[in-house]
Structure 1
Amino acid sequence: MSYLNAGQDTNGQDIKLHYTDQGQGNPIVLIHGWPATYEMWEYQLAELPKHGNRVIAYTRRGFGNSTKTWDGHNYDTLADDLKAVLDELDLQNVTLVGFSMGGGEVARYMSRHGGARVARVAFVSAVTPFLLQTDDNPDGAPKEVFDGMVEGIRKDRFDFLATFGKKFFGVGTISHPVSDATLSWMQAMCQLASPRATEQDVYAFATTDFRQDLKRLKVPTLVIHGSKDETVPAKVSGERMTQYVPHAEFIEYDGAPHGLFITEKDRLNQDLLAFVGSTVTMPSRQSTD
């Protein structure tokens, strides 16, 4: 296994981030969603390096095989961890791709660290700009929704993850866009997270307001969201991004759920390749616009 050093926690414990580094060329850094690991990017890691790209994906602290920390589950710290990844690998002209919770890391990094080393950014099913319902954000979700998630995690984390995975991929009585094997794979991946990180990161992505971070974005920006996302609804996230990033390109995947990195993997790969300027030679697909 390969690890990057992200410094030490408040107890002096070394923080190691599990990562993979594939291919050569334009650097693309993939940032995973909650409560998964970098392995969720399986189909992107298998395809993007074929088109002249160096693709790096890492697992945030507290998840997967990265160091399990008690503290540091906030976006300032997570943005600093992202900086450590870019600095240690000495990456330049990077494309950052943040999925769900990972979109928050992209936004906070660009604000907190001035966008150093970054050429463009992509937000996929992202939690930005702000999920929590407040007086000036009335379309957000009430805090009770996130309290309920944490309560479910504390009661039976494994049952919670099984139920969450179905909603994540849009699985219902009639709709079954992914296999049972994929659901099991995703659940096993999420079970590797520490209970502490699983809980604390809910409040991180739920209560962090990224609106001011986004207003500072000047680089080319791509926003991709599924119209049937029940985990992070497009109306409170993807559809609102251009309010804060007017130059962003917004692409909505009609009928797609939250986990579109699996259900719409070919289309997502093509859109990401086009965004970074790679030559796309993948099989044609029927448009779902």
Structure 2
Amino acid sequence: MNAYKSPLPGVEDWGRCGVMGIVNVTPDSFSDGGLWLDPGLAVAHGLELVAQGADVVDVGGESTRPGAVRVTAEEELRRVLPVVRQLAAQGVTVSVDTMRAAVAEAAVGAGARIINDVSGGRADPLMVPVAARTGVPFVVMHWRGQSASMDDLATYGDVVGEVIDEVERQMDAVVSGGVDPAQVIVDPGLGFAKGREDDWALLARLDAWSRLGRPVLVAASRKRFLGTLLADRTTGELRPARARDAATAAVSALAAAQGAWAVRVHEVPATADAVRVEAALRGARG
């Protein structure tokens, strides 16, 4: 997978796996809900992530955790736009994490340079035209349904082959809708309609995504499959979400080694170090 040479419009080529830092402007995200709900705190956190080594700050105003209930478009806009506008004004490369075309278009107007749609353009029929019209990079993630029901959709025979096939079909649909193929980023959708073994299988075969010829975003940060792996040996209790950052950094290094374009994380410093170590090792190998 040749992810480091990715001619994405309006996004710098970092020469290594990039780091996308998460700013959830939500009260109910699974590991940091409510921490950055105030716009001023969200902006300060985004700037802190950049200072710690993030290349992109991904701003979202709606939780997509399993079982999450959707907020209104008006509420999502109220949460997201001030944060996007202020971060972009300070030179930050901002991504907007949304399934709504109206939010995506308004965020790009406010300075966002990437649309990160976990539905890959399926949740809102107007999203693909917005992505085409704005011309910014567009993340097409593997998605089988809304958060409230996605755990019931995690049924696979060959998870790697099926997920790649489904993303390829959606990528074709997005391109048919007017999006330039050079805009497309693909995402395996770890944790979305996936069991824990499915997540590990997808991480083990990131090389298989090379057939799509597009940069790959890996979003494993603090997810349930890591909590299960690190569960207490005595009680079986899952490792708390905010105590999964070391494992997240390990996944980031492994994803970088397989050519991931970027990794999306809550806690930046360890992952920023990990991808730079991987890049140095890759360089030493020639």
Question: TM-score, with normalisation over the residues of structure 1?
Answer: 0.38
Higher strand share: 1
Question: TM-score, with normalisation over the residues of structure 2?
Answer: 0.38
